[in-house]
Structure 1
């Protein structure tokens, strides 16, 4: 059995579908209300909360008599939307155990399955928290009671409904290759997944959820949680923050070893890996989340696993999501290790694509993953503020649909903002936001609207097919220009086009068109209009009851046939086919 001081706090990752209540569950455990402060009520950065073993004992009751060596649980609240697959994978690698949150009423969603695949890939033990039991029809709330006690107080219909919902989850998990059962029926937690029904809103089932997590850690993970107290500390930066009286600080998850005031640490920055010295260490109070804690206590050293704030000089440009390591001997190998890890940021770049900026590695990877899923290219992806150089680079992108900048939770530097106001950079569009999926949606909406307008402009300039017949008793002028009444037999007749006979001989230029003595620019099939034709004389080039076709340039025929055909009315398609057949008598490949 490992000694108590050599057992570190297990890191617990909380995963699941958006809106299924992950942050609400943690809020219940730590008695806070973080969810209301998040943009769109979706967690956008990993938060860390330490829940000490005494607090877990108080909440769980049934643990009082057990001799526990685990000092508590460190919860990481991972971001909620499916865009964060990559960051969750990073979280999965960091975590010792996980809670997968599933709304018992909605069951498995695509994101839930993503979470399970990540945990399977990383071989991370986990528990299913089946949340929102208080929303089951007819559920009688028993605030903060253990699930089994509350369940026994429900009527038969409600108990049957819950059993049915739990077995639906068991079936879903079985389809995915997992053997699962309700927690109180599991005899071997190594072989079977435990499903714990809970309510974050009422606190029901929270006691058993914590008991199962502690039990898993205690029974099956003691060896994995053993660590060397004297080993150099290793962690991951959650956030880089300016703090009053301290300057720039790092919010850090220490997941191995020890870090102390005076230690040299290696930190990844935008300018490369720097070595700096720890000036102060601050710990959030137990049960408080590091991202929203306003009062910290100063400590001399911290042992893993823990969420801590580190004050040190030269942290400018430190990159959130990157590794931090205490330097115990020669700095060279540590610098090289971190540099290599930073080079492996999971973003696929394209020769043509967007310029993407974000405040953390995790967010950058997640944003890039979301764009990649939509087949949107990324030319450059970097952590840091949006600079003048980014704007200049975006302006040079040839494809107008990629002439955009995406900035997630990162500032726009003043010289970049000034450049974006310059009329010569009006073609560059900036998208800013703190919710990734909204940022991507905004860009896609803009791109699609730009495509629609571009297509519309292109189609407006295309010479459209049309066929007309010169009407009897409607010759108003014989020449210079000829003015005649015509009926549009098919297609769309527009001014500014050339007309040709059915033999393909060009006869003149359609200068203007009138209907009811008003000038018009176009007329559809069935309309009767007066037209003026430059270069034609009635009785020579044209005659009453002649059928004339619009003489379409060869380039325009290619566009009509390749890009527009399905959008054209049947009558227009028929006129186009008649005109191309005429041209292809002499040259079979004309317009192809």
Structure 2
């Protein structure tokens, strides 16, 4: 794999290996040859005879090396051809037809002009006939329908018109790829099993049990996951579980009002999980309006890892915003020195000049002295006569302190601290210490030490 990663490689999407190899520059082709010979040496060391498939005369005792690029598709036709040839040559006994009722898997549901909804299906065992009833999984649950037509590709030599590439057959034997025409297939779920009905109650029960393995409802609090097929649903469930994302409901089909209600219920408990993840499915405009009105986020993408990336990015952003909002709501530590030569009013309220020694000052916060006793509430901060919402370390500003009297409970050159409520101090110490600068953290430690002299368990 990854021949496209060879330096200087010129990609030719979906070309055969021989075609793309012939179009490479000489030094690039030689580089690839060297890598192949190195691989042959490694395989030989392990006891396997191998060679580039184009040079092989016998596949009986030699391992075929088929260079490919999964990214560009180069060499993939060769790989499929080799696999088919080896299967036909060496697996004849295992590829024998099995007589019995038809069983298979719906690959996809396609709307075709003149035929309506059709199901591209792989018949992996038994026989399928026109007129037989089949059981399958619909979006509403297990269902049955009658086969109206079975279509198979015509041989290449019989195709005259590209629009007329299928032929109708009365029956088909496994293993085969067919297109089924029947009523109700527009609601069939891709990835689900089909089987010819023998005992309808038992057959429907079997279909339901297969579906129940993937249509889950486990965690009380978790995301709502919607996917278009059982296969994509299984992949999405496994991927989300690897990522540690809880899932409340995982189901197939487009988003419904019920899904919105489920997500809304979860949102009441956890906003980050009260969302709907749509993998390769739609949410119509009315459903999206309903979700928006309930505050439910809907994430849509046809690529699984991008869908999860979008969700995780939103979780990170929302968590950061929520954390910042919580941090901003807390009273921050602050330390100031009263400047004795800048007393503008002694009381009612006292207005004095101060220097911020650490942390920050904000109007509305209580000030305490070094004994932890309140001296008043700071009602306003001014710098050269202009009100300020905050003053930080190094600033020299005038503050008005309600209930304070200069010379009685505040003095020149005195150090005062912002009173941080105990619950706020505990939050800052436990959850937000990394969001405080060094001076603020030191100021908080000093203030906590003052409070613990009176109450040893304060903010623990």
Task: Specify which of 231, 234, 238 is matched with residue 103 of structure 2.
Answer: 234
* Pair 172,550 (structure 1): closer, same or farther in 2 beyond 3 Å: farther
Q: Which residue of 2 aligns with 1:212?
A: 82
Task: Specify which of 194, 215, 233 is matched with residue 324 of structure 1.
Answer: 194
* Shift, 1:258, TM fit: 2.2
Q: Which residue of 2 aligns with 1:578?
A: 446
| 1:302 is the counterpart of 2:201 | no
Task: Specify which of 161, 182, 196 is matched with residue 312 of structure 1.
Answer: 182
DSSP 3-state at the match of 2:277: strand
Gaps of 5+ in 2: 157-161
Q: Which residue of 1 aligns with 2:142?
A: 273
Structure-2 separation of matches of 1:162 and 1:333: 56
**Are 1:178 and 1:192, in contact at CA under 8 Å, matched by a contact in 2?**
no
* Shift, 1:521, TM fit: 1.3
* Pair 191,310 (structure 1): closer, same or farther in 2 beyond 3 Å: same
Instruction: Give aligned pairs, total.
Output: 450
Q: Which residue of 1 aligns with 2:287?
A: 416
Structure-2 separation of matches of 1:444 and 1:307: 39
Q: Which residue of 1 aligns with 2:228?
A: 359
Measured against aligned partners, the alpha-carbon deviations of 1:349-404 in whole angstroms (never above 9, x if no partner) come to: 42221111111111222222232222221111110121112112212221111121
Q: Which residue of 1 aligns with 2:159?
A: none
Q: Which residue of 2 aligns with 1:405?
A: 276
Structure-2 separation of matches of 1:331 and 1:542: 91
| 1:500 is the counterpart of 2:371 | no
Q: Which residue of 2 aligns with 1:554?
A: 422
| 1:260 is the counterpart of 2:129 | yes
DSSP 3-state at the match of 1:238: strand
Structure-1 separation of matches of 2:430 and 2:3: 51
Q: Which residue of 2 aligns with 1:96?
A: none
**Are 1:235 and 1:252, in contact at CA under 8 Å, matched by a contact in 2?**
yes
Structure-2 separation of matches of 1:516 and 1:195: 82
Task: Specify which of 31, 40, 46 is matched with residue 161 of structure 1.
Answer: 31
DSSP 3-state at the match of 1:386: coil
* Shift, 1:255, TM fit: 1.9
* Shift, 1:442, TM fit: 1.8
Structure-1 separation of matches of 2:220 and 2:63: 45
Structure-2 separation of matches of 1:501 and 1:140: 75
**Are 1:513 and 1:520, in contact at CA under 8 Å, matched by a contact in 2?**
yes
**Are 2:152 and 2:169, in contact at CA under 8 Å, matched by a contact in 1?**
yes
* Pair 590,194 (structure 1): closer, same or farther in 2 beyond 3 Å: farther
- More relative contact order in 1 or in 2 (CA 8 Å, sep 6+)? 1
**Are 2:36 and 2:52, in contact at CA under 8 Å, matched by a contact in 1?**
no
* Shift, 1:449, TM fit: 1.5
Structure-1 separation of matches of 2:395 and 2:71: 68
**Are 1:347 and 1:365, in contact at CA under 8 Å, matched by a contact in 2?**
no
DSSP 3-state at the match of 2:440: helix
DSSP 3-state at the match of 1:585: helix
* Pair 210,459 (structure 1): closer, same or farther in 2 beyond 3 Å: closer
Structure-2 separation of matches of 1:429 and 1:356: 12
* Pair 449,220 (structure 1): closer, same or farther in 2 beyond 3 Å: same
* Shift, 1:153, TM fit: 10
**Are 1:180 and 1:195, in contact at CA under 8 Å, matched by a contact in 2?**
no
Counterparts of 1:389-468 in structure 2, within 5 Å, are 389-397=258-266, 398-413=269-284, 415-422=286-293, 425=294, 427-468=295-336
* Pair 159,319 (structure 1): closer, same or farther in 2 beyond 3 Å: closer
Task: Specify which of 538, 553, 559 is matched with residue 406 of structure 2.
Answer: 538
DSSP 3-state at the match of 2:94: helix
| 1:103 is the counterpart of 2:5 | no
Gaps of 5+ in 1: 1-101, 107-134, 288-292
* Shift, 1:322, TM fit: 0.8
**Are 2:97 and 2:175, in contact at CA under 8 Å, matched by a contact in 1?**
no
* Pair 399,285 (structure 1): closer, same or farther in 2 beyond 3 Å: farther
Q: Which residue of 1 aligns with 2:212?
A: 343
* Shift, 1:577, TM fit: 0.8
Structure-2 separation of matches of 1:545 and 1:463: 24
Measured against aligned partners, the alpha-carbon deviations of 1:506-527 in whole angstroms (never above 9, x if no partner) come to: 1111111112322111111111
**Are 1:511 and 1:532, in contact at CA under 8 Å, matched by a contact in 2?**
yes
DSSP 3-state at the match of 1:213: helix
* Shift, 1:168, TM fit: 6.6
**Are 1:479 and 1:538, in contact at CA under 8 Å, matched by a contact in 2?**
yes
Measured against aligned partners, the alpha-carbon deviations of 1:35-55 in whole angstroms (never above 9, x if no partner) come to: xxxxxxxxxxxxxxxxxxxxx
DSSP 3-state at the match of 2:432: helix
* Pair 161,376 (structure 1): closer, same or farther in 2 beyond 3 Å: same
**Are 2:97 and 2:173, in contact at CA under 8 Å, matched by a contact in 1?**
no
* Pair 191,477 (structure 1): closer, same or farther in 2 beyond 3 Å: farther
Structure-1 separation of matches of 2:24 and 2:412: 94
**Are 2:3 and 2:9, in contact at CA under 8 Å, matched by a contact in 1?**
no
Structure-2 separation of matches of 1:570 and 1:502: 20
| 1:243 is the counterpart of 2:118 | no
Q: Which residue of 2 aligns with 1:481?
A: 349
**Are 1:322 and 1:361, in contact at CA under 8 Å, matched by a contact in 2?**
yes
* Shift, 1:302, TM fit: 2.5
